[in-house]
Amino acid sequence: MKIEGSHAIDKDEILPHLALERVRKGGRAVDPYQLQLDTERVRQAYIRKGFFGVKVESHVSGETGPQTVTFSVIEGPRAKTKVTFENRPDEVSESELRSLVPIKDGDYFDYEIYDLAKEDVLKAVQSVGYAYAEIEDSSVSFEDGIAHVVYRFNISTRCRFGQIQIMGVDGKLRSAVMNRLEFKAGETFSQKALDDTQHNLYDMGRFSTVHIEPDLEGGRSSVPIRMVLTPGGRGELRLGGGGGYDSIAPEVRGRFGLSYIPRPLPLWTLGVDGRIALAFRSLPDSVENPTGGIDYEWRVRTLATAQRIDLFYPRVTGVVGVGIDYLTFEAYTMKGPLAKTDVTFPLFARWLSFRLGWQIQYESFTNISDVLDDAARMQYGLAEDARVAAYSQSIIAEGRDDPQNTRKGVFFCSSHQSSDCFTRSVRSSSHSAVGRVRSGATCRRPNAILQVERRANAAFRFTSSRRACRAMSMATAISNPC
């Protein structure tokens, strides 16, 4: 099959959806009735794009053997758009409704865009109190090269929220749900408030489904709301892996995470996170080892955390954690426990939040390289154990429609970390040995992340980081506050 004279629509948008495509794949002859139907389908595809005067003819060549179906298209002029609203309530302006239809007046008409805008236009009217509003008759007419798009509303009594019934939760979890409602009984009905409430409840991470159903039976001015919440799974296991390469020590990495929501403590999430890396360092030839070889360096962090939502105040989240590090480098091995805490709370808007964190780690050093004598160990801070403290501040803007299963949206995080020490490298004549410099100065690391997503499987991520020192200690660098 082929299409001739088509310029506005690619053939791959039409031919795979025709009934004759199944006939072709089945190796059967052309059915005249199906050919007639498909000819009309091709014509309708152009009409939906605004070619109201399109002409489509079809013919079949090849009476024996393979047959070729040709659709000849004369597109004609494409209609421009003109949108109007009839019987619009005074509480919502025409400019507000017009902004919800993403075709400007004078742009080429597209039926799909016009049709998809109906839901948003109707929701805008329902969000100013008209719960029973309907788009009674939306139509498209063609005249003098213009596609006249008309949205006609059927509105009735302005409504208010009635009794609110919540099913599926109790106790403290019910109180947390109540704190996330964007409406109260007696307020003006708003479909947007219902949608925002549903978004808030999914953000809690406690429910697999959230159904918010206004009872529109009977035409009452007070609309009861019924909410049915289904708890999600209490446990989650995450596994991941990767690798890194440099000319000195390439490495492979693994990560696992386990979280659990205890039934007696529905606002708490207990978790364990583990990160493991194995670096492969080539050893130089020496008298003791004339053939060189490979030295394996293990780097492990394990962190146990407890997270509490609605900490002292609605939508404030607190986290405490304890863990241990075991990091092997060429010049030394560093190990020691760590503790951290952070709190996140909303700012001026639901999508904007601020996070403040603090961390302290005890570091002890063993297996120090013989390349470093006592004076060098003192100079680089390896002669004695140390405590490293760090704090972080983050501004987070969450604009994704669903952080767990994102279809579209934007995420931005800007953070700043400070620590009381930093590391640098020192090299000997035989091989490199990494030492540590102790300093009373503060080490700062600004960091920013911008992530733009259109679908769950297609995202753009940009990260910018600037450090006031060469490298942070592992205790600080491994914990990105974003």
Q: Is the pLDDT of residue 394 over 60?
A: yes
Q: Is the pLDDT of residue 76 over 50?
A: yes
More confident site: 130 or 451: 130
pLDDT tier at 425 (50, 70, 90 boundaries)? Answer: very low
pLDDT tier at 377 (50, 70, 90 boundaries)? Answer: confident
- Cα separation, 15 vs 19, in Å, equals 9
Residue with the two structure tokens 């060429």: 330
Q: Is the pLDDT of residue 432 over 70?
A: no
Do the bridges between strand 333-346 and strand 80-86 make them parallel or antiparallel, or are there none, so unpaired?
A: unpaired
Q: What CATH number does the domain containing 416 carry? A: 2.40.128
Shared domain check, 167 and 140: no
pLDDT tier at 336 (50, 70, 90 boundaries)? Answer: very high
Number of H helices, E strands in the chain: 8, 23
Give the total number of structural domains in the chain. 4
* pLDDT above 90 coverage of the chain, percent: 36
Residue 98 CB partners (closer than 8 Å, separation 6+): 83, 85
Q: What is the DSSP letter of 476?
A: H
- Cα separation, 448 vs 438, in Å, equals 27
Question: Of 147-161, 239-253, 299-313, which has the strongest mean pLDDT?
Answer: 299-313
Shared domain check, 380 and 465: yes
Q: Which of 18, 45, 74 is the last residue of a domain?
A: 74
> ∠ at Cα 282 (277, 288), nearest 5°?
125
For the four alpha carbons of 381, 385, 387 and 388, in that order, the dihedral sign comes to positive
| pLDDT of the residue at 424 | 37
- Cα separation, 272 vs 256, in Å, equals 8
The H-or-E segment that residue 123 falls in is: helix 111-126
Largest CA distance in the chain: 96
More confident site: 377 or 291: 377
Tokens of 262: 């205890």
Q: What CATH number does the domain containing 107 carry? A: 3.10.20.310
Q: For residue 69, give its domain range.
A: 2-74
The closest of 457, 204, 473, 137 to 350, measured between CA atoms, is 204
Q: What is the DSSP letter of 467?
A: -
Q: Which of 74, 101, 128 is the last residue of a domain?
A: 74
Shared domain check, 285 and 253: yes
pLDDT tier at 12 (50, 70, 90 boundaries)? Answer: confident
Residue 275 near residue 253 (C-beta atoms within 8 A)? yes
More confident site: 251 or 284: 251
Extract long-range pairs of 26-29: CB within 8 Å, 24+ residues apart: 29/67
Shared domain check, 38 and 10: yes
List residues bridging with 147 in a β-sheet. Answer: 81, 142
Shared domain check, 101 and 227: no
Summarised one tens digit per residue, pLDDT across range 294-335 is 778 899 999 999 999 999 888 899 999 999 999 888 888 899
Summarised one tens digit per residue, pLDDT across range 197-238 is 998 898 888 999 999 999 988 778 899 999 999 998 889 999
Question: How many CB atoms lie under 10 A from the CB of residue 277?
Answer: 19
In a domain, 222, yes or no: yes
Shared domain check, 196 and 65: no
Shared domain check, 242 and 207: no
Average pLDDT, the chain: 82
Do the bridges between strand 68-74 and strand 2-4 make them parallel or antiparallel, or are there none, so unpaired?
A: parallel
The structure's pTM equals 0.70
Do the bridges between strand 2-4 and strand 432-437 make them parallel or antiparallel, or are there none, so unpaired?
A: unpaired
For the four alpha carbons of 450, 453, 456 and 459, in that order, the dihedral sign comes to negative
| pLDDT of the residue at 308 | 95
Tokens of 276: 């493991």
| pLDDT of the residue at 419 | 67
Shared domain check, 52 and 176: no
Shared domain check, 290 and 426: yes
In a domain, 94, yes or no: yes
Q: Which of 74, 91, 125 is the last residue of a domain?
A: 74
Tokens of 471: 């490298």
| pLDDT of the residue at 453 | 58
Summarised one tens digit per residue, pLDDT across range 96-106 is 999 999 888 88
| pLDDT of the residue at 452 | 64
| pLDDT of the residue at 114 | 87
| pLDDT of the residue at 300 | 94
In a domain, 441, yes or no: yes
Q: Is the pLDDT of residue 64 over 80?
A: no
pLDDT tier at 402 (50, 70, 90 boundaries)? Answer: low
pLDDT tier at 161 (50, 70, 90 boundaries)? Answer: very high
